[in-house]
Amino acid sequence: MRAFVIDLGGTHATSGIIEDRTIVARRIVPPKGNAGLRSLLPCLTEAMRLLRRESGLDGCEFDGVALGFCGLVNSAEGRVLSTNGKYPDATDIDLPSWAEKEFGLSFRIENDARMALLGEHYTGAAGGYDDVVMVTLGTGIGVATMIGGHLLYGKHFQAGCLGGHFPITLRGRACNCGGIGCAESEASGWALPQVFTTWAGSEKSALAGMEINFENLFRCAAQGDTVAMAIRQHCLEVWASNAVALVHAYDPEIMVFGGGVMRSVDVIIPYLQRHVPPRVWTPWGKVKICSAQLGNDAALLGAIPLLSNKTFVRRLDVR
């Protein structure tokens, strides 16, 4: 199976060509600030045409176009439901018509966290498991859930993917979702600068002269910076508490952690493996906690099961 795929995250856009379990080619397409998706589509279209020519695939058959999108989507109808501020015009774009016009191909869209889970289930860390929660730690905290081999959607297509917005504290920071004290507003890439500037003694930390991101945070913590160590511990505790809530909500066999923050996998996974199992009620046994295997390729490789209708949609309609 061969497909065009777009991975459209909060701060990145990647076009690619996938053949079965192989990424044939890819191209990074810089997002145009806050200009919206409509102005970005011609760039994505041109990138995919260039990839096809450069790969020697002009004239070859493709099975479809798949898009992983950083927001809530109606995967059944191929449209964006809510963007939470990023690409706000996406809800008004007829993406299936765009794919048909530009490539003459069918179109499927999925939330980017669900696409990453599909990729890890298809050919990564979640292979062989049918009850999975995947957490992506990056600019935000993305979550996707699979139960009995079925992606979890719910009546309004948001079940199982808003785990980053589980409240961790009653008196925490305001989140961009409208909540207070969400895991994402307490320990995500976009929240980290706020966490740092309000932390006691931050002006004396080595981090004060750096870009506030997780790479610098973990490096300074490893060097013994006391503020960095305290904030790192705060983030680890938030992620562990969030994982406990996710286990109780979705009953997974395995939890897979991915995203850019996992460059510090040697710190994060052992901490979660130590602190999550004793705090969850799982009389059946112990939840496996591991890191993702596919890195930034997960959402791209999720295109194949998405287009082949192997997503096994399960909806929980409450009547």
Q: What is the pLDDT of residues 98-108, one digit of tens each?
A: 999 999 999 99
pLDDT, mean over the chain: 93
Residue 177 lies in a domain: yes
> With a cut of 70, which residues of the chain have pLDDT below it?
10, 32-34, 310-319
- Residue 315's pLDDT is 44
What is the reported pLDDT for 312? Answer: 43
What is the structure's pLDDT at 310? 52
Task: Check: CB of residue 134 under 8 Å from CB of residue 318.
Answer: no
The residues facing 141 across adjacent strands are 137
Kindly report, residue by residue over 280-308, the tens digit of the pLDDT: 999 999 999 999 999 989 999 999 999 98
CATH number, residue 258: 3.30.420.40
Say how far apart CA 77 and CA 87 lie, in whole Å.
Answer: 19
Residues 165 and 107 in one domain: no
User: pLDDT for 40-89, tens place per residue?
Assistant: 999 999 999 999 999 999 999 999 999 999 899 999 899 999 987 788 99
Same domain as 137, residue 101: no
Report DSSP letters for 218-257, one per residue. HHHHHTT-HHHHHHHHHHHHHHHHHHHHHHHHH--SEEEE
Q: Are residues 95 and 21 in the same domain?
A: yes
87 and 151 share one domain: no
3-class DSSP assignment, residue 147: strand
Task: Report how far residue 316's alpha carbon sits from residue 147's, in angstroms, rounded to the nearest whole number.
Answer: 11
- Give residue 96's domain range: 2-111
Cα(79)–Cα(86) distance, rounded to whole angstroms? 15
Within 107-225, residue ranges assigned H as helices are 112-123, 183-186, 192-197, 214-222
